[in-house]
Amino acid sequence: MLLCLACAIAYVWHEPPIRPYGGTWLGYTLGTIGGLLILWLLWFGIRKRRYARHSASLRGWLSAHVYLGVAVVVIATLHTGFELGWNIHGLAYVLMVLTVASGLVGVYFYATVPALMTRNRGQDTLDAMLLKIADLDRNIAHKALSLPDELLALVNDSVHKTRLGGSFGRILSGRDPDCPTARAIRVIPEAGKSLQDEIANVDHEVYAMLLRKQELLTRARRDMRFKALMEIWLFFHVPLSLALLAALLAHVVSVFVYW
């Protein structure tokens, strides 16, 4: 905030002969500050991997990364004199804004998703949920052996064909529209109405275990979705950062060579 305030005061105080733009002494000063900040922000992506043993230091550097990332937008805007064109200089500015915006999306996800993930997991980890699903599958497969062939086929599909993961879009949605377990849960109650005595009791037990399995599957898919949300912004942030570096170098070279 102090850095942005100082730059804003200097911009208001400065009275160039023609108009404020990047070619004045203040424009060069602001451009240098903004360029150095961008290089430092890009360096953080490499540097942060060296702070694994000192989490407090990493949090401090990450906080600086976020705040200075926002500040560089203000400084770069003052550097342009609020004038942009359809050229490499405008492209560098747009890439900078998009890079910072994608970083802020990451900040939002890191601020909100972990709490949702903890609430969804309860006392379980994803591995623990998968182990419980595997145990249920063994019990379901054993219990269902005495069921009629129609119901047994549904149960076997649930045990052997239910999948977690898949395409990135399916992971991000947290749903599987073709889930065999969900299909078995829809069909078994109606198909089992004609069953009697012990077979009916077995059908009820299998159905109850399928419901428990479906609840675990829902939580596991939701957990995978939350993990995807924690990472998806990086697929935009990192490429945008590299493109920004290239555009920044082109901007600097073109200014000093051709102007």
Per-residue pLDDT reduced to its tens digit, 89-116 = 999 999 999 999 999 999 999 999 999 9
- Say if 107 falls within a structural domain: no
CB atoms within 10 A of CB 242: 13
Has residue 133 got a pLDDT over 60? yes
For residues 6 and 74, membership in a common domain is answered with yes
- Say if 180 falls within a structural domain: yes
Domain hosting 62: range is 1-83
For residues 68 and 142, membership in a common domain is answered with no
pTM for the full predicted model: 0.79
Q: What's 147's DSSP letter? A: S
Q: So what's the pLDDT on residue 22? A: 80
Number of domains in the chain: 2
Percent of the chain with pLDDT over 90: 67
For residues 139 and 70, membership in a common domain is answered with no
- Say if 237 falls within a structural domain: no
Contacts 24+ apart (CB under 8 A), 226-234: 226/113, 226/116, 226/117, 226/120, 227/117, 228/168, 228/171, 228/172, 229/109, 229/113, 229/172, 230/109, 230/110, 230/113, 230/114, 232/172, 233/102, 233/103, 233/105, 233/106, 233/109, 234/106
- Say if 6 falls within a structural domain: yes
Q: So what's the pLDDT on residue 17? A: 79
For residues 225 and 132, membership in a common domain is answered with yes
Which of 83, 118, 134 terminates a domain? The answer is 83
- Say if 209 falls within a structural domain: yes
For residues 66 and 138, membership in a common domain is answered with no
Which of 31, 66, 83 terminates a domain? The answer is 83
- Say if 170 falls within a structural domain: yes
Q: Using alpha carbons, select from 125, 206, 219, 220 the residue that is nearest to residue 158.
A: 206
Q: What is the pLDDT of residues 12-54, one digit of tens each?
A: 998 887 788 888 899 999 999 999 999 999 888 776 655 555 5
Q: What is the pLDDT of residues 163-199, one digit of tens each?
A: 998 888 889 888 898 999 999 999 998 888 888 889 8
- Say if 258 falls within a structural domain: no
Q: Using alpha carbons, select from 155, 162, 146, 238 the residue that is nearest to residue 195.
A: 146
For residues 67 and 160, membership in a common domain is answered with no
Contacts 24+ apart (CB under 8 A), 57-66: 65/41, 65/103, 66/103, 66/104, 66/107
For residues 218 and 133, membership in a common domain is answered with yes
Which of 29, 50, 83 terminates a domain? The answer is 83
For residues 226 and 135, membership in a common domain is answered with yes
Say whether 167 sits in a helix, a strand or coil: coil
Q: So what's the pLDDT on residue 222? A: 95
For residues 43 and 130, membership in a common domain is answered with no
Token pair 């305030």 in the structure block, residue: 5
For residues 135 and 227, membership in a common domain is answered with yes
- Answer whether 64's CB lies under 8 Å from 6's CB: no
Q: So what's the pLDDT on residue 165? A: 87
Residues 48 and 46: their CA atoms lie apart, in Å, by 6
For residues 131 and 213, membership in a common domain is answered with yes
- Say if 150 falls within a structural domain: yes
For residues 77 and 146, membership in a common domain is answered with no
Q: So what's the pLDDT on residue 49? A: 58
Name which residue leads in pLDDT, 2 or 191.
2
